[in-house]
Chain A
């Protein structure tokens, strides 16, 4: 089930009403019902692959849980061999489902992967690591409960796309007073993040996606202006898509009295690539830092080793995002940029802030081209158009941008300029929202509950919900 559906709104409403009622009678009943709704979320509408995917995730959870219990069974230090075996299992499952095709040149491929497997794998690895290092505060077998672990593994607000849950940030909340007993502060905060998240995802990211998809479908016809719109459009689309998703997840979670970690902290305001990674997909960066960079020695084993570790971490990050050369190249670019920044040291910080921001933003934009492009050749083609194409904005960029809104504006007298007007409006609003200080998750607890803010959130949420089901407009409709 996707977040962008009426079914999800219904499921969330049922969860938010029924789970607290069940928890009033007994907390385990509340957890069981929450897990049940998480299973429904996972299976809804996705057929046999969803059932198989759920089986893979359930088996993986069992492996982790059993390894953790076994490892902690004695009074001595955790049995690391057991934990490493479980970690190897998770890595093997991830490689088998997602990377077999890449490693065999497409000769062998399962052709599908369980929904959310990449996030699930890292979350399970993080759990095993924290059990092994005793960082996990519930590292006693008696306190590690199966029902709580099942909810941790299948938790529906995060199961498909994160944020990656850190065990020590999640389990203690299940024993807090607020869990499944949200007050009106929680509900208001949840609805605030949920509304803005939906608007980011449905109204901004999907609209920008229409422009970006139009550009990638007509790479040969792109002008320089068009190419830059596609590049900037994807930068903004990806941010609003993922951060919107995280806001929705955070809002939904808060409606149940839980909190999720901040995953995006205005990343496009960063003054360096290093800072960008402290603000972008923060849970992934934290996981890679704690579970890969530090164990490799971090920055404590000399300069060259540090550079090597940084490059390795970003290659793994690139590969985690997708099994393809474009993702590896994107990871390599970010790794090299961070190595260069580290090598430059304080000299970079002496540059004017505006220059540092512009350089970082330009680099991030250009690197995203490799993240989005279907191939290195397509990325090169887009970049070529950006630097040597002609002027003007091709019509295919606005062809599928908010078609109903375009039709309505055209009917109101704006005529054929309605498409370009909406294009300008979407980019302007998206840039403003991406670059303004603060973010939704930070404002959840501090916003003033004014009537105007209520009306804006209400309209944005309704507009997004009424956009879930669209009517396709056909170009060929004249005949």
Chain B
């Protein structure tokens, strides 16, 4: 059903020098500690990472829960902050689609789409035959997802020992990892421009609309970069 050779090849991406393990670990340790502090028990914390597996979404959930927001407001806030997963999925899944593979694999494994797994897949897909890419992807996804769940448990258990400076240190690891991966992904003019313009326009739009800044800034930066790349 799933080709184990490609599955484990993907799974092993959590080892090695460009492993996302440290970055994912640091940020989900912080999530585990945060969930404990807002009153979740350990099963609920595990359940949360297991089912959501998207960092900004979990942060928004925690913030909204803390101020007692209504369910509809929580839904809208999380949906808004995780809308970025839509262009990420659309720019990944066509690379993995193969007619010989069953559809359930795609609908189930899209759960693994998160920045770290996405960046690793984007970096490595060309080295895998198209037919086997979905199994490779399921391997990457299972590996990164397991780290996130294990780290949530560690963070929950260790929360009493984490002081403020350590939490601040943990919180910078993820943006640093992502920034380095993005710098590493700058291999064509179009992608480099998308990244640089996104990093400028995202924060710029923050002054107009904090909630929508990532989407407005990202969509306009990506569109500008696309046209410059196509018509230069």
Q: Does B associate with A?
A: no
Which B residues form the contact surface with A (CB < 8 A)? none
B-binding residues in A (CB < 8 A): none
